[in-house]
A = this chain, B = another copy of it.
Amino acid sequence: MDQENTCKVCVYRSRAFKNLTDKEMALIAINREERHFKKGEIIVEEGSKIDEFLYLQKGLVKLYNKEPHRKEHIISIAKPLDFIGLLGLFSNQKQVHSIAAIEDCTICFVKLNVIKELIRTNGNFALDFFEKISAVSDSVIKTRINIHTKQLRGRIAYILLFFAHHIYNSKSYSLPISRKEIAELIDMSTENVIRVLSEFRKDDIIEIEGKHILIKNLQRLEKIYTNG
C-alpha cells in the first residue's frame, strides 16, 4: 500500500497539520503508523519513553495518572482530531500520563523526531503546531481551576454539558465512562456522582437509563453549572 497516498488523502490530516509541503507530508507518511485499540485498552503507560506523537482519528481516550496507593485521576478526555498528550511531550523524556481508550479508537503514531525536524525546518508549521498544542494545555488548566470552584452539583452539570456540547453535540447520548471514572475526572466520590445524578433525575432535569443520558431541561442544567 502506498503510505504516502494514504496520508495525503487522510481526511484528518488537513486539520492536524497545516503548512506542509507535499514532500514534508511524505516524510510524515513514511514515519507514521495507524493503530487500532479496543475500548479499555491501554495505549500509553505512564513512565514509558516518549518517541512518538499521537493524533486521535476516531474514538475517545482518557489521559490519566495512576499513583501508587492512590486512586486514579483522570486529567482530560480527548476526542477525534485532538492532539493527545500535553506539552510534556517536549519537556520530558518520559510519559507523564497514561492514556487509555474509552471507546474503540484509531490513533496515528508519528515519530516525534520527525515532528521536531519539521518544527526546525518549517517555521509556519511550528507556529501552527505550537498554537494547537498549547490550546489543549491551556484548556486543561482552565478546566481544573473551574471545577474546583464549584460544588458537586455544578461539577456533575459540567460533565453532562461537556459530553452534550463538546463530544456528542446532542442532548441525548450514552456515557462512555463509568460513574467511577466520572468521579476520578471531577474529583468526587463515586457514591456522590450517583447521588447527584439521581437528584437531577428526581428534579426532572435529566433522564437516566444505565449509561444513557437525556437532558430534559438544558437551561436549568446550565444554570446549575454557572452558579456552581
Contact = CB atoms under 8 A, between A and B. Distances in A.
A86 B138 contact: yes
Contacts of A92: 138
| Total copies of the chain | 2
Interface of A: 65, 67, 70, 73, 75, 86-92, 96, 116, 119-121, 123-124, 126-127, 130-135, 137-138, 140-142, 144-145, 148-149, 187
Contacts of A131: 90-91
A83 to B, nearest CB: 12
B134 A90 contact: yes
10 contacts: A65-B145, A75-B145, A89-B134, A90-B127, A91-B131, A119-B126, A119-B130, A121-B123, A134-B134, A137-B137
A187 B134 contact: no
Nearest to A137: B137
A135 B87 contact: yes
A142 B132 CA distance: 20
Contacts of A145: 65, 73, 75, 144
Contacts of A86: 134, 137-138, 141
Q: Which 5 residue pairs spanning A and B have beta carbons closest together?
A: A120-B123, A87-B134, A91-B135, A137-B137, A90-B134
A149 to B, nearest CB: 6
Contacts of A149: 67, 70, 73
